[in-house]
Homo-oligomer: A and B are copies of this chain.
Amino acid sequence: MEENTNYTEILKREGMKSTKHRNAILLLLEQSEDPITAEELYISLKENTALINLSTVYRTLDIFVSKNLVIKSTMDDGKARYELNHHEHKHHLFCVGCHKVISIEDCPMGELQESLKKKIDFDVTGHKLEIYGYCHNCKKV
């Protein structure tokens, strides 16, 4: 899979038209280390790339999520954050100091899933783990 310039093929493969906005959004998501909100995306696009409407950002992200290109996570501050789906299993660290979100690939689930099935007949289809605390920069003194 080629790297950085154009996402036309990916979009086509998913049955979507390749547009300036969609390419720009995918590029921005690719460049962003950590999950970002729709509004952050919107502002960054407006300043650096192309004028775009916030509703287009939301619509585009929704489509990407439905195509599994993007992962959406709703955090405790009431805002959803989006990141490219690299198809790794991921969780998030949420810094209560600066609200930065960091993705990690560690996952402690494992046997709990089977235990729930046995104990209370609950079929797990997925899970979300948010870890709160202080990042390196915001450490408590």
A residues bordering B, Cβ < 8 Å?
Answer: 74-76, 78, 93, 95-96, 102, 104, 106, 108-112, 115-116, 120-136, 139-140
Kindly report which residue of chain B lies nearest to residue A117, judged by CB atoms: B133
Complex formed: what's the CA distance from A103 to B43 in Å? 39
For A78, list chain B residues within 8 Å (CB).
74
Q: How far is the CB of A78 from chain B (nearest CB, A)?
A: 7
For A111, list chain B residues within 8 Å (CB).
108
Kindly report which residue of chain B lies nearest to residue A128, judged by CB atoms: B130
Q: Known contacts A122-B133, A127-B130; can you find 7 more A-B pairs with CB under 8 A?
A: A74-B75, A108-B110, A116-B131, A121-B135, A123-B134, A127-B131, A128-B130
